[in-house]
A and B are shown apart, each in its own frame.
Chain A
Amino acid sequence: MARDLLLEIGVEEMPSAFMGRAIADLKANAQKQLDDARLSYKEIRSYGTPRRLTLWVQGLEEKQPDALLEIRGPKKSIAFDQEGNPTKAGLGFARSQKVDFNNLEVREVGGVEYIFVIRKEKGNASTAILPKVLLDIINSLTFPKSMRWGYYHTRFARPLRWLLAILDSEKIDIRVENIKSTNETYGHRFLSSGALPVKDVQHYFQVLRENYVILDQEARKELIRKQVLDVADAAGGHPMENEDLLEEINYLLEYPTAFYGQFSPSYLEVPPEVLTTSMIEHQRYFPVFDNQGNLMSGFIGVRNGTDYSLDTVRAGNERVLKARLEDALFFWNEDNRKPLVDMVNGLKEVLFHERLGSIMDKVERLQTLAVAIGEACSLSDAATLKRTALLCKADLVSSMVYEFPELQGIMGRYYAIKSGEKTEVSQAIFEHYLPRSAGDILPTTESGKVLSLAEKIDNLTGCFAIGLKPSGSQDPYALRRQAMGIVHIILDSGLSLDLAALVGKAYDNFADIQTDSNRKDTISEVMEFIVQRMRGVLLERGYSYDLIDAALAVPSNDITDISNRIKALQDLRQSEIFDDFMVVYNRCHNLSKKWQDDSINTQVLVDESEINLNRSFNLIKYDVYRSINAGDYLGACKMLAGLRPEVDDFFNAVMVMVDDAELKAARLGLLKAIANLCNFIADFSKIVV
């Protein structure tokens, strides 16, 4: 008969950020341990609140199936002597397995004969195996950070305080450190008291419900979502959508009650980003917007408990937020007392990196690099770019950004506007940090694009120059994200620029700094790194890997050009000339692969087919070059594909590898020349037909 297993791991309040993974791991560990123990089941579910992780196995078989164990002993030649009698080694094996030597079997494994014990193992009752299985499940849970407590050596996310383990109504005895399992659970920390006996699995769920614990994280989350929406609705607004915040709150409580709190509308003069950051980051409140999308002077908090004495809770939270907003208002007024440009001087005292100098040093580098980039892609003008570069980091020394680091750039834009800077400059100050994460918006102003590129190229070049390259999962300076940002900005705007030259300019800005990597190596490493990210970006956009690799095989410092070639290859593959082109390329390339010289001594060509091929090739050659230079790669491919009849005739008519060395050289030279011309566009040998 199948039974229900329940394990509850009682803990002190777990970090909310750990919970999602812990709940998933609990289920996965249980699956693995039960499978290893040959215990079958119908379904496994796992749940979690801040104070508990719960595993529920439904339909667990009462017994393991019988198993046939085959235990391999020594080789037959070792187990028996020449007369066919058992040796010491053979007898020893039998003794160790507690079987009579005559009951051993000989079996062949990989052409060698061994002696075997074949033993039928009676399946054990699940109750006998479960204690070990449960302990293994608990011990295989890992967390991003774990700790010890008291006199114990066990590590867990937070101290373990109780264990409940039952099979239907039967207690399973396990022990972790001083905690012995029982059939008792605990309810809500403040709305329930003492140990609560549990009769069976269904009763467990009932007991928790009655004691203000909503165990199922999904049900709890939806309840919070609904409560928050209802409260916002009653206040005449709608809450900010924020799944991360909802997820975090969900693991901060066992029984939610949402409530609406208010603050003085006078704080609304502070930029909304500041108010919402304070509400979300400091207090875990949902900001509320009216139907016009304006921030309202209210917030939604979610309490861990019922609505008992909710007014006290509301008043307390309102008072705390008021103090926070008062601080924010103070910072806002303080920062606005002087123009943004006055903050620039303070950047000398802010460290960028101990080996790469202060932020002020960085600002000076950005000024020259931004002007160079602006010139290279004809965006913005030197004066605007210099001004933007000068001001783009100034908000780092504002009181507001000191308090809310995530508002960098956003505050800079506000302060620039208040200081009367040009709109282009103010907007570019905000945009130079973009994109801040995968999928984030990209800069839209010309100066914003240039500054964003300058910022990222400077970061990459500086870090690579002093050996701070990302490795494996380690990327503390988020260089991968920044390289992706460079790729997105360039491709999105179709900017054509010599990226390697700009990395070189960025490197020259570090002239006063002791670097670990020289100019040439740094440029090639940074380029390689960016191109790798570009490969990822293009794969994500749906281009197939072989086309990407074919185009990347032709080195270029202009990633827009690389991207255009990949697009042309995609078009080529979908066009009716694709087969013709690949025949031309493959026939010419395959035979001339190992031949280096693409000069053709036309004097020695004898056959009509080769003379024709050479003539046709000469007719299109310069047009192909021109098309390639103009970026019309598909046009170039079309012309080359047109050689198909001549190429086919040639291969039907002549043998290339003839004894006449001069003739052979001329024929190979012709094929090589055609293949090389194709290779200007991409390495077509990488294309999977």
Chain B
Amino acid sequence: MNFQEIILRLQNYWGKQGCIILQPYDVEKGAGTMNPATFLRALGPEPWKVAYVEPSRRPTDGRYGENPNRLQHYYQYQVILKPSPDNVIELYLDSLRDLGIEPDKHDIRLVEDNWESPTLGAWGLGWEVWLDGMEITQFTYFQQCGGFDCFPVCAEITYGLERIAMYIQNRESVFDIEWVDGISYADVHHQTEVDYSHYNFEVAAVNTLSTMFNLCEEEAQKIAARHLPQPAYDYVLKCSHLFNLLDARGAISVTERTGYIARVRNLARLVAGEYLEQRKRLGYPLIKDEELRKTLIIDEEVL
């Protein structure tokens, strides 16, 4: 099964489970969780089922294309099920079966792993899923997001696509993954890994980036003040990515680090609050059960 088929199969599987198949969000981000389809939609009372591929950037993980397991740009497959269904683990295991991974032929474990993102003010409890000793998925029940309690609670399933492909194709290097017949992962991404590693570690202009960080922070605050959560959130994402670039460049001293993280978290919190307000103003349109929607709105007014 080539890389492309793995993605298509997951799209197909989760599509059949009633998920909206979204496309990647067009702002750089460190993980699928930061996509507004997760970060914002996890907030508030509205149900939401979505699945998408997310190109994810971690500038500090770049290795000039020389390490078989580390990339500064890779792909996650992200699923959000809100509220978390009772059979969510079975649904996940069926998706593995759909990829040809028969659980009884392997050793699949759910090992405690609690997720926390200090920059997003978010945390949850769950597991890393091990396939014969290899972590292939992160599974999290979101408890808080942007500093707000999540209710209902969503389940987040994040597949490491390259890891799964390496396993299925029996490859020892991520670059040897077959994307489609005759085209490898290296053909698609090796040179960009080399180039971005040079850029992230050596070329990126520290002064320019820190100026950009300040400008984006200011912009996010201005936009949030106009009650436009998603445009504001774009600038939170930019701040987060700029912070990661500065970090890779070795430009953030240890003392400054906590300060930067707090600044991004404050923005995330601000935007999360704006988003919650907006959904309430709109009357929670994603709640299709009219009765439920009305009681919910009345309950909130009483509170």
Task: Tell yes or no: B280 within 8 A of A by CB.
Answer: no
Which residues of B are found within 8 Å of A252, using beta-carbon distances? 109, 111
Residue of A148, A151, A190, A316 touching B104 (CB-CB under 8 A)? A190
Residue of A14, A316, A323 touching B68 (CB-CB under 8 A)? A323
How far does the Cβ of B243 sit from chain A's closest Cβ, in whole Å?
16
Interface size counted on chain A using CB atoms at 8 A: 47
Does the CB pair B109–A304 fall under 8 Å? yes
**28 CB < 8 A contacts A-B:** A12-B89, A12-B110, A13-B110, A13-B127, A147-B125, A148-B141, A148-B151, A149-B84, A150-B85, A150-B152, A253-B109, A283-B133, A303-B107, A304-B107, A305-B104, A308-B104, A309-B104, A309-B105, A313-B106, A316-B132, A316-B167, A317-B107, A317-B133, A319-B134, A322-B172, A326-B68, A327-B69, A349-B250
Task: Tell yes or no: B35 within 8 A of A by CB.
Answer: no
Task: Tell yes or no: A159 within 8 A of B by CB.
Answer: yes
Considering the chains assembled together, what is the distance between the CA atoms of A330 and B153 in angstroms? 42
Given A145-B114, A150-B153, A354-B258, A320–B134 Cβ distance below 8 Å?
yes
Does the CB pair A150–B254 fall under 8 Å? no
Which residues of B are found within 8 Å of A190, using beta-carbon distances? 103-104, 108
Specify the chain A residue showing the minimal Cβ separation from B82. Answer: A150
Does the CB pair B153–A148 fall under 8 Å? yes
Given A158-B125, A349-B254, A354-B258, A301–B133 Cβ distance below 8 Å?
yes
How far does the Cβ of A194 sit from chain B's closest Cβ, in whole Å?
11
Does the CB pair A159–B105 fall under 8 Å? no
- Encode contact with B along A284-328: 1 for CB under 8 Å, 0 otherwise: 000000000000000001011100110011011101111100110
Given A150-B86, A191-B104, A320–B254 Cβ distance below 8 Å?
no
Considering the chains assembled together, what is the distance between the CA atoms of A351 and B254 in angstroms? 5
Task: Tell yes or no: B187 within 8 A of A by CB.
Answer: no
Considering the chains assembled together, what is the distance between the CA atoms of A156 and B234 in angstroms? 35
Interface size counted on chain B using CB atoms at 8 A: 40
- Encode contact with B along A13-43: 1 for CB under 8 Å, 0 otherwise: 1111100000000000000000000000000
Task: Tell yes or no: A350 within 8 A of B by CB.
Answer: yes
Specify the chain A residue showing the minimal Cβ separation from B112. Answer: A15
Which residues of A are found within 8 Å of B141, using beta-carbon distances? 147-149, 159
Please indicate which of the listed interface residues B69, B83, B133 has the most CB atoms of chain A within 10 Å of its own CB. Answer: B133
Does the CB pair A320–B85 fall under 8 Å? no
Which residues of A are found within 8 Å of B85, using beta-carbon distances? 150
Task: Tell yes or no: B295 within 8 A of A by CB.
Answer: no
Task: Tell yes or no: A419 within 8 A of B by CB.
Answer: no
Specify the chain A residue showing the minimal Cβ separation from B131. Answer: A316
- Encode contact with A along B159-192: 1 for CB under 8 Å, 0 otherwise: 0000000010000100000000000000000000
Task: Tell yes or no: B255 within 8 A of A by CB.
Answer: yes
Does the CB pair A358–B132 fall under 8 Å? no
Residue of B110, B143, B152 touching A151 (CB-CB under 8 A)? B152
Task: Tell yes or no: B207 within 8 A of A by CB.
Answer: no
Does the CB pair A16–B255 fall under 8 Å? no
How far does the Cβ of A187 sit from chain B's closest Cβ, in whole Å?
12
Which residues of B are found within 8 Å of A317, using beta-carbon distances? 107, 132-133
List 7 tightest A-B contacts by C-beta distance, closest first: A316-B132, A351-B254, A15-B112, A13-B110, A317-B133, A309-B105, A320-B133
Task: Tell yes or no: A122 within 8 A of B by CB.
Answer: no
B residues 237-272 near A (Cβ < 8 Å) are: 250, 253-255, 257-258
Given A150-B84, A323-B68, A316–B133 Cβ distance below 8 Å?
yes
- Encode contact with B along A244-280: 1 for CB under 8 Å, 0 otherwise: 0000000011000000000000000000000000000
Does the CB pair B133–A145 fall under 8 Å? no
Considering the chains assembled together, what is the distance between the CA atoms of A308 and B107 in angstroms? 10
Given A17-B112, A147-B141, A150-B153, A313–B83 Cβ distance below 8 Å?
no
Given A313-B132, A320-B132, A178–B86 Cβ distance below 8 Å?
yes
Given A150-B83, A150-B86, A161-B86, A312–B105 Cβ distance below 8 Å?
yes
A residues 517-554 near B (Cβ < 8 Å) are: none
How far does the Cβ of A34 sit from chain B's closest Cβ, in whole Å?
30
B residues 81-128 near A (Cβ < 8 Å) are: 83-86, 89, 103-112, 114, 124-125, 127
Which residues of A are found within 8 Å of B111, using beta-carbon distances? 13, 16, 252
Which residues of B are found within 8 Å of A149, using beta-carbon distances? 83-84, 141, 153, 155
Considering the chains assembled together, what is the distance between the CA atoms of A147 and B143 in angstroms? 7
A residues 191-233 near B (Cβ < 8 Å) are: 191
Which residues of A are found within 8 Å of B152, using beta-carbon distances? 150-151
Task: Tell yes or no: A50 within 8 A of B by CB.
Answer: yes
Does the CB pair B112–A148 fall under 8 Å? no
Specify the chain B residue showing the minimal Cβ separation from A327. Answer: B69
Considering the chains assembled together, what is the distance between the CA atoms of A145 and B250 in angstroms? 35
- With contacts A304-B109, A322-B172 known, what are 17 further pairs, Cβ within 8 A? A15-B112, A145-B125, A149-B84, A150-B85, A150-B86, A178-B86, A190-B104, A252-B111, A283-B133, A303-B107, A305-B107, A312-B106, A313-B107, A319-B172, A320-B133, A323-B172, A351-B255
Specify the chain B residue showing the minimal Cβ separation from A314. Answer: B132
Considering the chains assembled together, what is the distance between the CA atoms of A157 and B112 in angstroms? 11
Does the CB pair A354–B255 fall under 8 Å? yes
Which residues of B are found within 8 Å of A327, using beta-carbon distances? 69
Which residues of A are found within 8 Å of B133, using beta-carbon distances? 283, 301, 316-317, 320-321
Considering the chains assembled together, what is the distance between the CA atoms of A178 and B153 in angstroms? 15
Specify the chain B residue showing the minimal Cβ separation from A306. Answer: B104
How far does the Cβ of B86 sit from chain A's closest Cβ, in whole Å?
7
Which residues of B are found within 8 Å of A301, using beta-carbon distances? 107, 133
Residue of A12, A283, A303, A323 touching B69 (CB-CB under 8 A)? A323
Considering the chains assembled together, what is the distance between the CA atoms of A147 and B105 in angstroms? 32
Which residues of A are found within 8 Å of B83, using beta-carbon distances? 149-151
Considering the chains assembled together, what is the distance between the CA atoms of A473 and B55 in angstroms? 43
How far does the Cβ of A631 sit from chain B's closest Cβ, in whole Å?
47
Which residues of A are found within 8 Å of B68, using beta-carbon distances? 323, 326
Considering the chains assembled together, what is the distance between the CA atoms of A663 and B89 in angstroms? 93
B residues 47-80 near A (Cβ < 8 Å) are: 67-69
- Encode contact with A along B9-22: 1 for CB under 8 Å, 0 otherwise: 00000000000000
Specify the chain B residue showing the minimal Cβ separation from A351. Answer: B254
Which residues of B are found within 8 Å of A319, using beta-carbon distances? 134, 172
How far does the Cβ of A277 sit from chain B's closest Cβ, in whole Å?
16
Which residues of A are found within 8 Å of B105, using beta-carbon distances? 308-309, 312
Considering the chains assembled together, what is the distance between the CA atoms of A321 and B30 in angstroms? 26
Specify the chain A residue showing the minimal Cβ separation from B254. Answer: A351
Which residues of A are found within 8 Å of B151, using beta-carbon distances? 148, 151
How far does the Cβ of A287 sit from chain B's closest Cβ, in whole Å?
15
How far does the Cβ of A304 sit from chain B's closest Cβ, in whole Å?
6
Considering the chains assembled together, what is the distance between the CA atoms of A17 and B84 in angstroms? 24
Considering the chains assembled together, what is the distance between the CA atoms of A186 and B78 in angstroms? 29
Please indicate which of the listed interface residues A148, A308, A358 has the most CB atoms of chain B within 10 Å of its own CB. Answer: A148
Considering the chains assembled together, what is the distance between the CA atoms of A274 and B184 in angstroms? 33
How far does the Cβ of B153 sit from chain A's closest Cβ, in whole Å?
5
Given A12-B89, A13-B127, A358–B112 Cβ distance below 8 Å?
no
Please indicate which of the listed interface residues A145, A320, A350 has the most CB atoms of chain B within 10 Å of its own CB. Answer: A320
Which residues of A are found within 8 Å of B124, using beta-carbon distances? 147
Considering the chains assembled together, what is the distance between the CA atoms of A326 and B83 in angstroms? 41
B residues 249-303 near A (Cβ < 8 Å) are: 250, 253-255, 257-258
Does the CB pair A316–B106 fall under 8 Å? yes
Considering the chains assembled together, what is the distance between the CA atoms of A349 and B251 in angstroms? 10
Specify the chain B residue showing the minimal Cβ separation from A357. Answer: B255
Which residues of A are found within 8 Å of B131, using beta-carbon distances? 316
Considering the chains assembled together, what is the distance between the CA atoms of A334 and B85 in angstroms? 47
Specify the chain B residue showing the minimal Cβ separation from A261. Answer: B133
Which residues of B are found within 8 Å of A150, using beta-carbon distances? 83-86, 152-153
Which residues of B are found within 8 Å of A323, using beta-carbon distances? 68-69, 172
Which residues of A are found within 8 Å of B255, using beta-carbon distances? 351, 354
Residue of B84, B106, B143, B172 touching A159 (CB-CB under 8 A)? B84
Please indicate which of the listed interface residues A16, A149, A309, A330 has the most CB atoms of chain B within 10 Å of its own CB. Answer: A149
Considering the chains assembled together, what is the distance between the CA atoms of A565 and B172 in angstroms? 66
Which residues of B are found within 8 Å of A50, using beta-carbon distances? 110
